[in-house]
Structure 1
Amino acid sequence: MRILIISSQSDFRQQMQAACLRYTKTLVSLRTAESVGQGLELAHQFEAQVVYIDLTRNIEAGILAIQQLSGVPNRMVVVSIDKLTTEFVTRTIRAGAREVLVQPVQDEDVHQILDKFAAINSNTVDVQPARNGKVVICFSSKGGVGKTTMACNLAVMLQQRFGGNRVALIDANTQAPNIAPMLDLRPTRWLRDAVMEYRRLDNEMLNELMTVHEASGLHVLAHSTDNPLGLDFSEDQLSKILLVSKGSYDWTVVDTFPLLSTLNLSMMDLSDQILLVTEPVVPSLRSARYNLEMLQKAGYGKDRIKVILNRFSNFRGNVSPELVAETLNWPVSHVVPYDVHSTIAANSGQALVNMFPDSNVTSAVSRMVDGVTGVPTPPPPPEGVVEKALRQFRNWLDL
């Protein structure tokens, strides 16, 4: 019996693991996930038959996850919470949950649920779950560090690597959206349209709301710059959009508003990686350190949060990547150098990785994609002296 436990609380995961391992009526195979996003991915890979999901911290994202998890035949979804209410039971059962556990859980209750699953599914055959894509969140609680630039170029390079309709970029910066002008897009459908229809949003509708970036083929769900402060977004609306995107695209890159809010945390719960963008300037590093402390308390670890040091220049008096890592008490996963080409590309409405494929920033983004995907880029053929001179001359002309 394949069992998956989803909870941001390590105590709950350990308690459930121990209870399941003490179940002796059949062979048990266990997996655990620290977030809803990881859980959805692992449920697909592991082909989980019984899923225990803890909704103590984020009920709204959990409800949407239950709907997706329970869509697989012969799977039992069990929800758990510390305080039980009639409204909670009604909502979770309607979403697709089969059982409810009140914390702290008892071995007897866990074993009764496993007995029930075994009895119901004694003569059934496993069915392969639907595909589940990955979500990468670009975040910083300080504006102006290059977060949106990073999100755009990361998404474009992912599209270059994978091709087809496999990569999406979502502008979830709800108060200062900039992806559309940065990529010179003129959308006719926006994030607000997806929010208005979020209850019936599906793969087909999301695809219709996307704007195609002609230079790369990337699918972009842009946010309108017209009166963005007048729009009201909730955690369940954006969570639903991300869940649908995970089912539609192999990779979804999300740009966020620079604030450690419940809205951003709900999206982080569905993410596979969080790229925390900072720069070697004291105010930015202070903000990054605070972010890391808060996110760590919320249950996010070094396996999910990757620090991106942007706009680094190696001059006397600047903060080195080693000192940044020491200051943050967190490893620096990628260093992106300062390059004037970034400004030129942004002012031109083009992705830097398209406009300047030979720049140092493009090389850094390529290494970042290697790290995000876990698939290294094949090394290019050796560059001759003439080719190198011509490339450097073209870059000089662009300046």
Structure 2
Amino acid sequence: MISYEILILGNVKDEQVAVLSATLREIISDFGLSIGSDVEIRTRDAVENRDRHVAAAAIYFGGPNNPDEDIARTLSFHSIPIIPVVDSNSDFGVSVPHFLHQFNGYRMRDDDPAMIEISTALLECIGLVRPLRRVFISYKRTESRVAAAQLHDLISARGYDVFLDTHDIRPGEPFQDILWHRLCDSDLLIMLDTPLYFESKWTRQEIGRARAKEIHVLRLVWPEHKPNRMTEFAETLYLESQDFGSADGSINAQRCDEIILAVERLRSKSIASRYISITGKLRAEIAKIGATIESVGANRTVAIKLEDGRRIWAYPIVGIPSAEILNEISVRARMAYASGTPVLIYDHVGIRDRWNEHLAWLDENIRSVRSIKVSEAAWQLVELGEG
């Protein structure tokens, strides 16, 4: 059953459609989905056949004459997200229709021929990849402080919320509580693998806890350093001496671009892996009470069938719940005409005690959505099913 649609419009070339389709196919396969069965890609000739009941997003390639402008206007009227795209040297204001100027656009990058960034942006728009873009940098200060700060700034400039201990913990805050909390809400950990990295108990714990939370790791191995076997599981980029632009330890611009592109691709893999994991944990929990997962639909909505035949609509999430996410789930459930109270499912391990208290307060005062720890799903869903 089709749950998502991607619409490709404007001055798009056949080879661009082919490349974009191939990259989307690769990324959604990480979620156990496929083109044609779960995700439909439509160009201008097939847009009129789109299913108006599924999550959709469009990409508009700018250029001369503004083809498909009427189609794009109609989609915009129906609140379909549209990403205007222009070539690296094009004038955005001239290349796309005026009504699209209100949307944040994307400039094609010469270092991203597979269009990985724009593909993940489309998947964010349809709700398959979460829009929060969070990265955690793990490093040994005495060896890679400059490179860590450099990557923090460069990746932040690409729209990421990057956690670096020296930048993102305010004076007076409990250092380790904040650090583990932020790790739990990260899509990816970037490990700066230097010779003394594993001599610190803190960096060892960061890697260990990232693995415990099933957060993917991008390992950057310093020149002439033999990596520790403990990190063989990680995606690895080996740095060479010529990758460092100056004596201060900073990495040259070209290599940084390659690192950021690797972050983009591995991030979606990490999110997919964690979604599948939490859904698997949910499946194991509800089996204890004789319930089953009946289907998984748009926005990763899970239809749970209780033993007596009643259904509960659950929304497993990656990362840490917030009031904004609760509101988003409430809106999704209402738009899908889901019966009963929707349930947010999350993994509470590593979340700060103060935040858990905040979530408990939200659960007591916001009745349109329930939030349940995946480890307590069987226990809590029995009670919810009585309502």
Identify the TM-score tier after normalising by the shorter chain.
Answer: under 0.3
When the two structures are superposed, what TM-score results if normalisation uses the length of structure 1? 0.25
RCO comparison, higher one (Cα < 8 Å, 6+): 1
When the two structures are superposed, what TM-score results if normalisation uses the length of structure 2? 0.26
